[in-house]
C-alpha cells in the first residue's frame, strides 16, 4: 500500500469529530454494560471487568474531547473503540443467554469471542485488499463494504427463526445477538484507520 492509497482510505467517508458523540458514547457504554449484567446471575466476576472497561473508555474519550478534538485520529479512536466494545457486549450477552439454558461453559464463551475476532479479521483483510486495489480512490464508485455488512447482518437475524425452527425464544435471541454483534464489528475497523493514520504521520518529514 502506498501513501496515496492509505490517505484515500483515511479520507473516505470521514466526518469531523464531534465532542458530543464521545459523551453520548461514554453514557452508552455504561448503560449497555449495566444491561448485560441484568442478564442471568449477578456476579462480581462480570461486574468488575466491565466496570474497568467503562472507566478506561471514559478516560480515553475524555482525553480525546479535552485535548485532541481537532485531530482526525480522535474520530477513528472514538468510533473504533465504541463499536468494538458494543460488539463485544452483544457477543457476551448472547453467551449469557445460553448460560440460562445450558449452564456455564468456558469453551462456548471462547467460541463466541473467537467468532467475533474472526469476523473483525475478515473485514480487516477485505478492507486491506480494497485499499491496495484503489477502491477508496474511486470517488465515482461508492464502497460497498458497509452496505454488505448491514445486509448480511439483517439477513442473519431474519433467517435465525427459520434455521432454529422448534427451538425456544432464548436460542433465537442468542443467535440474533451474535449476528448483530458481527455486523457491528465492522465499525471496529476504525481502529485500523487509527493505526494507519499514526503510521502516515510518522512518515511525514519534520
- Please state, in angstroms and rounded to a whole number, the distance separating the CA atoms of residues 91 and 97: 10
Does residue 150 register a pLDDT over 60? Answer: no
pLDDT in tens, 73-127: 888 999 999 999 999 999 998 888 888 878 888 888 888 888 889 889 988 888 8
At 143, the pLDDT band (50, 70, 90 cuts) reads: very low
Give the residue carrying C-alpha cell 471496529. 188
- Please state, in angstroms and rounded to a whole number, the distance separating the CA atoms of residues 191 and 38: 29
At 205, the pLDDT band (50, 70, 90 cuts) reads: low
What confidence score (pLDDT) does residue 145 get?
46
For the entire predicted model, the pTM comes to: 0.80
Give the distance between the most distant pair of CA atoms in the chain: 65
What confidence score (pLDDT) does residue 203 get?
65
Count of C-beta atoms within a 10 Å radius of residue 153: 20
N-to-C CA span, the chain? 22
What is the crossing angle of helices 106-132 and 169-184, to 10°?
30
Between residues 139 and 5, the one the model is more confident about? 5
What confidence score (pLDDT) does residue 54 get?
95
| Chain mean pLDDT for the chain | 80
pLDDT in tens, 8-50: 888 888 787 788 888 899 999 999 999 998 887 888 889 999 9
Count of C-beta atoms within a 10 Å radius of residue 124: 16
- 3-class SS at 17? coil
Amino acid at each position: 500500500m502506498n501513501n496515496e492509497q492509505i490517505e484515500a482510505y483515511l479520507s473516505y467517508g470521514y466526518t469531523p469529530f464531534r465532542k458530543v458523540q464521545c459523551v453520548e458514547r461514554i453514557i452508552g457504554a455504561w448503560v449497555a454494560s449495566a444491561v448485560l449484567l441484568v442478564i442471568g446471575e449477578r456476579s462480581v466476576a462480570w461486574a468488575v471487568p466491565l466496570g474497568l472497561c467503562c472507566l478506561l473508555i471514559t478516560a480515553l474519550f475524555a482525553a480525546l474531547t479535552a485535548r485532541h478534538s481537532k485531530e482526525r485520529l480522535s474520530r477513528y479512536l472514538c468510533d473504533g473503540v465504541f463499536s468494538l466494545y458494543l460488539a463485544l457486549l452483544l457477543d457476551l450477552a448472547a453467551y449469557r443467554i445460553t448460560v440460562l439454558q445450558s449452564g456455564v461453559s468456558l469453551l462456548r464463551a471462547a467460541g463466541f469471542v473467537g467468532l467475533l475476532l474472526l469476523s473483525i479479521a475478515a473485514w480487516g483483510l477485505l478492507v486491506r485488499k480494497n485499499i491496495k486495489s484503489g477502491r477508496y480512490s474511486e470517488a465515482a464508485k461508492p464502497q460497498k463494504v458497509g452496505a454488505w455488512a448491514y445486509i448480511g447482518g439483517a439477513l442473519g437475524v431474519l433467517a435465525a427463526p427459520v434455521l432454529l425452527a422448534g427451538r425456544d425464544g432464548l436460542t433465537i435471541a442468542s443467535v440474533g445477538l451474535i449476528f448483530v454483534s458481527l455486523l457491528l464489528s465492522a465499525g471496529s475497523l476504525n481502529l485500523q484507520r487509527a493505526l494507519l493514520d499514526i503510521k502516515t504521520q510518522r512518515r511525514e518529514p519534520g
